Amino acid sequence: MNTSRRQFLHRLALSAVSLPVLPTFANNFTQFTEPSSSDQPMLRVALMGLGSYAERVAKAMQQCKHAKVTALISGTPSKLDKWGATYGVPEESRYNYQNFDRIKDNPNVDAVYVITPNALHREHVIRAAKAGKHVICEKPLAISVQEGQDMLDACAAAGVQLLVGYRMRFEPNTLAVVKKRMAGEFGAIRFFQGQCGFVAGDPNQWRLDKALAGGGSLMDIGIYAINGARYMVGEEPIWVTAQETKTDPVKFREGVDETIQFQLGFPSGAIASCLSSYNIDFLDRYFLSGEKDFAEMQPSTGYGPIKGRTKAGDLKQPHVVHQTVQMDEMAQILLQNKKPLLPVDGKVGLQDLQIIEAIYRACETGERQTLQLRA
């Protein structure tokens, strides 16, 4: 690892940045408690990148029935010590970014959850795969289609599975709408709208660094609208148009998008109109319109509870912490070959990257881009 990357990881570990639009997570740790016993196998997870989102995942996993934290990977020794004591992770299962390849010799790890900046995903996923561990990678999968394909190829070569942290694909109210659509209750789908955005704070955060984030709002928050359009409409888009708006070129430098509007077209004739922004608050809404019914969800992608309604009334599925549900479901996918209602494998992440690249091309050229997602 070169000096600049080492310095970046150290800086990131010292001051992780959380998403302003989402609820702030408490900084204090609570003592780890062993999940309830189960006859089912337990997924043993190494968390990589101990920032604010990893903290959210670790705390949520205390309530998991099928997954637990058994190893830690960080560039900050003090975090390894603190987290190790909190979550009962022994010193021999604590790694830094230079030596974590040794995890291949740790029988107490089944999967590595990569929660590092976007530009580091490729390296970290490939190294984890070569160590013989399944990999869960936070979204976006990578910063380019080529990097994403490299990651899929590496996992396939190693005989391990690659999943992407699309927590909304397990959220109960979201799935209730998807099931209604699958059952034909909406009739033919005509329109989807996805609005995702917040005002990005610290101008020095890594999410506003093109080299580390791979872009701007679209890579971080707009991907929810992209992914949501796919599972809400139930089809894959075949074309995209897009327009970029930038009001603050100092904060949002070249290659870091501030606000993008994009439109997707689907084989049936359904269309999607979406908005992704780092400079507009309170954007967290999905709207689905069919010939027989509609679904409106607001908030639609925040940490919850997710709320919504259809013609029949309010969505009433109970709220469970998203990361708890996600990790329990992923444990069953990896260990028991469970087939989720909505897939979360690396191919889904790669397809989102194809759409993202097409959106950026549409912004640059002003022309409609044809899509043919990789099967």
**Catalytically active residues, by annotation:** 139, 224
Is 331 contained in some domain? Answer: no
Q: Which tokens go with 15?
A: 């001051």
Is 334 contained in some domain? Answer: no
CATH of the domain at 75: 3.40.50.720
Examine the domain organization and report whether 42 and 159 are in the same domain.
yes
Q: What is the pLDDT of residue 304?
A: 85
Q: Of all helices (H) and strands (E), which one includes residue 192?
A: strand 189-199
Examine the domain organization and report whether 201 and 349 are in the same domain.
yes
Examine the domain organization and report whether 218 and 201 are in the same domain.
yes
Pick the closest to residue 304 from 163, 172, 197, 166 (CA basis).
172
Q: What is the pLDDT of residue 261?
A: 98
Q: Dihedrals φ, ψ of 235, to 5°?
A: -140, 170
Examine the domain organization and report whether 70 and 154 are in the same domain.
yes
Examine the domain organization and report whether 128 and 225 are in the same domain.
no
Q: Which domain holds residue 42?
A: 3-167
Q: Is the pTM of this model over 0.85?
A: yes
Distance CA 291, CA 208 (A): 41
Examine the domain organization and report whether 162 and 179 are in the same domain.
no
Please provide the DSSP assignment of 56-75 as one string.
HHHHHHTT-SSEEEEEEE-S
Q: What is the pLDDT of residue 40?
A: 76
Is 325 contained in some domain? Answer: no
Examine the domain organization and report whether 358 and 312 are in the same domain.
yes
Pick the closest to residue 121 from 92, 149, 156 (CA basis).
149
Query: At which of 167, 186, 207 does a domain end?
Result: 167
Number of domain units in the chain: 2
Distance CA 83, CA 292 (A): 51
Examine the domain organization and report whether 160 and 196 are in the same domain.
no
CATH of the domain at 299: 3.30.360.10
Query: At which of 167, 190, 209 does a domain end?
Result: 167
Examine the domain organization and report whether 153 and 175 are in the same domain.
no
Q: Which tokens go with 118?
A: 């976007």
Examine the domain organization and report whether 32 and 78 are in the same domain.
yes
> With a cut of 50, which residues of the chain have pLDDT below it?
1-6, 8-37
Pick the closest to residue 124 from 149, 140, 101 (CA basis).
101
Output the CA–CA distances (angstroms, integers) from residue 163 to 75, 113, 114, 348, 363, in the order listed: 24, 9, 10, 9, 29
Q: What is the pLDDT of residue 23?
A: 35
